[in-house]
Amino acid sequence: MAFNPWRRLASALLWAIGGALAAGTAGAQTVTINPNTSYQTIRGFGGMNGAGWIADLTSSQIDTAFGTAAGQVGLSIMRMRIDPDSSTWATQLPTAAAAKAKGVTLFATPWTPPASMKSNGSRVGGSLLAASYGDYATFLLNFASYMSSGNAALYAVSVQNEPDWLPNYDSCSWTSDQFRAFLTAQGSRFGNLKVIVTESLNASKTLGDPILNDASAAAQMDIMGGHFYGVSPSDYPLARSKGKELWMTEHYTDNTDANDWTAALPVGLELHNTMVSNYSAYVWWYIRRSYGLLTEDGLISKRGHVMSQFARFVRPGMVRIAATEKPYSDTYVTAYKDSAGKLVVVVINNGTSQRRVDLTLAAGSATSFTKTRTSATVSSGYAGSYAVSGGVATAYVDPGSINTFVSQ
C-alpha cells in the first residue's frame, strides 16, 4: 500500500480524541450528598453600598444586584455605613428601602462614633470614652429607628468596623475589654436587633475569644463578624459553641479588573472555603466598583457572575449539608437544601481538565438537576440538564469553571 500522510493524520486524530474521551471518563469520582447531615443556616450573600463615599446605586443597578432572575446577581444582604453625622443619614435611605422591598437583609456598620464621644475628639483614631457608652448605644439605635421609619428596617447593627486597625480616615480602636464592658452595660437595649462584633480586619479570634468567654457580654451579641484581609477563611468553633453565627462582613480579594477571569475564579474558591468554614453570610466590599460585582457601567462583572452562582441559588434559610468536598484535588463541592427538599450543589473546577462527577443521593431526592455555568467564556449560562437514574446524576464540569446544579 502506498504511503498516505492523510491516513496517518486521521489515525493520529482518532487516537487523540479517543484518549481524551477516555481520560475524561476514566477518573469519574462520586460526590455523595447527604441531606441528613446539616451544618450552618445560610443568611445570604451580599455587598456594601457606598452611598456618601461613592455614588449611590441607580434603580437599574439595584435590580441587577438584588434580583434573582437570569442576568442578575441575586444578592440577599446589603451592608451600609452609619455616618457619625446624623444629618447625612438620608443618603443611605433610598437604596436601603428599595433593597428591603426586594426582601434583602440590611445591616449597618459604624466606622467611628461621633467625635464628641471619643478620647481624642476626632473621627480618626482614638477610642470610645467609657462615659459615652450610653450615648453611643443611643446613637446606634437612632440610626436603626431612622431606617425603620423609612421602610428600611435593619436586621443587625455592628458595634465597630475593624477595631484592630487605625487608618487615616474614620476609625476607632476597641479592645476586647472595651467590647465586653459596652455589651454588658448597653447590649440589652438592642432588643430584637441583632448585634455584630467584632468585624476584625483579619477575623481575629484573639480579639473575639475574651468576649465569647464572658457570659454577660456574650449574651448581648448575636453574630461574630470578621473580615478576611491577609487571612484565609477558617472555622470559629468557640463562637458556634456559644450559639453565635459567623458572618464574613467585608472583603475584596484585590483591586484588579473585575472581568479578569484569573482573578475572578479565586473569588469562587474563597466563597467555597467560607462556606465549609461554617459561615452563614459572605459580604463583598463595594457592590459597584472597577473590582466589584458590578463594574462602573452597571454591568455584572465576572466576579459578580461568580458570586451569582451562589447568591441566586443558595437562598436565605437554606442549610449547608454534607457532600464530598474534594472529589478531585482541583475540584471543590458544597451542597445545600431548603425546607421543601430542593437541593443545590456548587462545583468549582479549578484545574485544566474536564471532570466527571457522579452526584449520588437518596432515592426520591430529585429526578434531575439543571446546571448553570460561569467560565472565562460563559457568564451564568444554562449548561444542560442531568437526569437522576438509580440515585445518581452523572455530570461534567469544564476546567476553570464554577457550576451550580439545582434539583428538579
Instruction: Output the domain CATH number for residue 66.
Output: 3.20.20.80
Whether 244 and 96 map to the same domain: the answer is yes
| Structural domains counted in the chain | 2
**CA quadruple 49, 196, 281, 144: dihedral positive or negative?**
negative
Whether 137 and 93 map to the same domain: the answer is yes
Q: 237 in a domain, yes or no?
A: yes
CA distance 189 to 185: 9
CA distance 49 to 55: 9
Q: 230 in a domain, yes or no?
A: yes
User: How high is the pLDDT of residue 258?
Assistant: 98
Whether 196 and 255 map to the same domain: the answer is yes
Whether 324 and 376 map to the same domain: the answer is yes
Contact 371, 386 (CB under 8 A): yes
Q: Which residue among 316, 339, 366 closes a domain?
A: 316
Those residues of the chain that have pLDDT short of 70 are 1-27
Whether 112 and 249 map to the same domain: the answer is yes
Q: Which residue among 261, 286, 316 closes a domain?
A: 316
Q: 15 in a domain, yes or no?
A: no
Q: 269 in a domain, yes or no?
A: yes
Q: 21 in a domain, yes or no?
A: no
Burial class (CB in 10 A: 0-12, 13-18, 19+), 361: buried
Q: 74 in a domain, yes or no?
A: yes
Whether 171 and 210 map to the same domain: the answer is yes
Whether 304 and 244 map to the same domain: the answer is yes
Q: Greatest CA separation found in the chain?
A: 100
Q: Which residue among 282, 316, 350 closes a domain?
A: 316
C-alpha cell at 110: 459604624
Collect all residues with Cβ–Cβ distance below 8 Å to 36 and sequence separation of at least 6.
Answer: 321, 322
CA distance 277 to 44: 15
C-alpha cell at 21: 474521551
Whether 186 and 272 map to the same domain: the answer is yes
At 379 the three-state DSSP class reads coil
* Active centre residues (catalytic): 162, 250
> Residue 402: how many CB atoms within 10 A of its CB?
30
Q: 2 in a domain, yes or no?
A: no
What Å distances lie between residue 121 and 97, 142, 189, CA to CA? Answer: 33, 21, 25
Q: 111 in a domain, yes or no?
A: yes
Whether 306 and 189 map to the same domain: the answer is yes
At 401 the three-state DSSP class reads strand
User: How high is the pLDDT of residue 28?
Assistant: 85
Note down the domain range covering 369: 27-38+320-407
Whether 382 and 344 map to the same domain: the answer is yes
Whether 231 and 337 map to the same domain: the answer is no
Here the CATH number for the domain that contains residue 346 is: 2.60.40.1180
Q: Cα–Cα–Cα angle for 244, 249, 250, nearest 5°? A: 155
Whether 147 and 249 map to the same domain: the answer is yes
What are 188-200's pLDDT values in tens digits?
Answer: 999 999 999 999 9
User: How high is the pLDDT of residue 16?
Assistant: 40
User: How high is the pLDDT of residue 20?
Assistant: 41
